Amino acid sequence: MQTVTLNNGVKMPILGFGVFQVPPEETEQAVTDALAAGYRLLDTAALYHNEEAVGRAIKNSGIPREELFVTTKLWIQNAPAEENTKQAFDASLRKLGLDYVDLYLMHQPYGDVYGQWRAMESLHREGRAKAIGVSNFYPDRVLDLVLNNEITPAVNQIEAHPFFQRTADHKLLRERGIQLQSWGGFAEGKNNLFTDPLLSEIGRQHGKSVAQVVVRWFIQRDIGTIPKSVRPERMAENIDVFDFQLTDEQMASIAALDTGATLFFDHRDPQWVDRLGVLRMDA
Ligand code: NAP
């Protein structure tokens, strides 16, 4: 599997498997199938309530721990954030049945972000989070975090897909040594992504599906991606992208699909801050 080297030297597979919205009772099977299909990066979160099932699939796979790259995410913590972050991390590790994670992400840019980040820095120093990063941070928030803390996030996991390409954000993150990893890389099928005429035509030219074109497009932009599927045939399809290359013309034509706008929600929208920013896992 092709990897990207993060700003602390850790190597992360450029393509992984996400389990958002996979019900806990289906997650063990989905992860088992994904590992069998060749995925080695697994992306979960405390909020997904399926860390235990991910952990069971890892344990039963027999795959050596060092061959896997496991990401989980911290949900927004009440004060005292530093103490509660450590407890939340311990709970995630316990559920996963692991003694370290490869990447620990702050899931949302809300709450006592700096207190949470200081705790994450200390988890990283202890070696229990091999890399730490953020998610859903717009450039202004990332930059402020970078400028006012010791450790620069290794990754920012944000919405990115052909209709919201994040080109300027990608440039800024790169300049700061932060790896962009997309979530919702298929836009969860919104905007009829899987039947988009341009992506379909490019796929036809390579004998590949729209999904494969999209995954390939991310890889050629050095952006990590973590497509989700509960169907083994789609898992296999989405990882079968290392035997073709999009041309410069094709990359340029896909760039024209960018609308520059979210298809989900803007994390800076006060209505969403009001809804999501107060959500607590233990509420
Ligand atoms: P996504 O990967 O863009 O899309 C998943 C959808 O596409 C599912 O409905 C899946 O259906 C379908 N699909 C997958 N492969 C397909 C194929 N080859 N052909 C046709 N349909 C296909 O959406 P996502 O799950 O939201 O994002 C991916 C991962 O990013 C998540 O699982 C999660 O790990 C992460 N994420 C993070 C955040 C965050 O705030 N940090 C937010 C959202 C997601 P089936 O399952 O039925 O195949």
Residue 29 confidence (pLDDT) above 90: yes
Give a yes or no: residue 283 inside a domain.
no
- C-alpha 221/C-alpha 82 separation (Å) is 35
Give a yes or no: residue 22 inside a domain.
yes
> How does pLDDT run across 145-155, given as a tens digit for each residue?
999 999 999 99
Question: Taking residues 29-45, what's their average pLDDT?
Answer: 98
Give, using CA atoms, the residue closest to atom 12 of ligand 1: 229
Backbone angles phi, psi at 43, to 5 degrees: -120, 115
pLDDT value for 265: 93
Helix H or strand E encompassing 57: helix 51-61
Residue 168 confidence (pLDDT) above 80: yes
C-alpha 22 – ligand 1 centre gap (Å): 9
pLDDT value for 283: 44
Compute CA distances 267 → 91, 159, 171, 252, whole Å.
26, 10, 20, 28
Residue in 47, 73, 183, 265 to alter for ligand 1 test, most ligand atoms within 8 A of Cβ = 183
* Among the listed residues 126, 73, 68, 125, the one whose alpha carbon sits nearest the alpha carbon of residue 104: 73
**Greatest distance between any 2 Cα atoms in the chain:** 56
Give a yes or no: residue 281 inside a domain.
no
pLDDT value for 236: 98
> How does pLDDT run across 69-119, given as a tens digit for each residue?
999 999 999 999 999 999 999 999 999 999 999 999 999 999 999 999 999
Give a yes or no: residue 282 inside a domain.
no
Give a yes or no: residue 133 inside a domain.
yes
**Domain containing 255 — which CATH number?**
3.20.20.100
> How does pLDDT run across 192-240, given as a tens digit for each residue?
999 999 999 999 999 999 999 999 999 999 999 999 999 999 999 999 9
Residue in 103, 186, 218 to alter for ligand 1 test, most ligand atoms within 8 A of Cβ = 186
- 3-state secondary structure (DSSP) of residue 224: strand
pLDDT value for 281: 87
Return the structure tokens found at 138: 């717009």
Counting residues of the chain whose pLDDT is more than 70, the rounded percentage is 99
**19, 50 Cβ separation under 8 angstroms:** yes
pLDDT value for 274: 93
pLDDT value for 190: 98
Give a yes or no: residue 53 inside a domain.
yes
> How does pLDDT run across 269-280, given as a tens digit for each residue?
999 999 998 899
| CA count, 13 A, side-chain hemisphere, 61 | 24
Indicate if ligand 1 lies below 6 Å from the C-beta of 102: no
Query: Is-cis flag, bond preceding 80, omega within 30?
Result: yes
Give a yes or no: residue 188 inside a domain.
yes
Structural domain that includes position 193: 3-276
Would you please indicate which residues are annotated as catalytic (active-site) residues? 48
Across the chain, what does the average pLDDT equal?
97
C-alpha 129 – ligand 1 centre gap (Å): 25
* Dihedral, CA of residue 26, residue 29, residue 34 and residue 37, to nearest 10: -140
Domain count, the chain: 1
Give a yes or no: residue 71 inside a domain.
yes
pLDDT value for 30: 98
pTM to 2 decimal places: 0.98
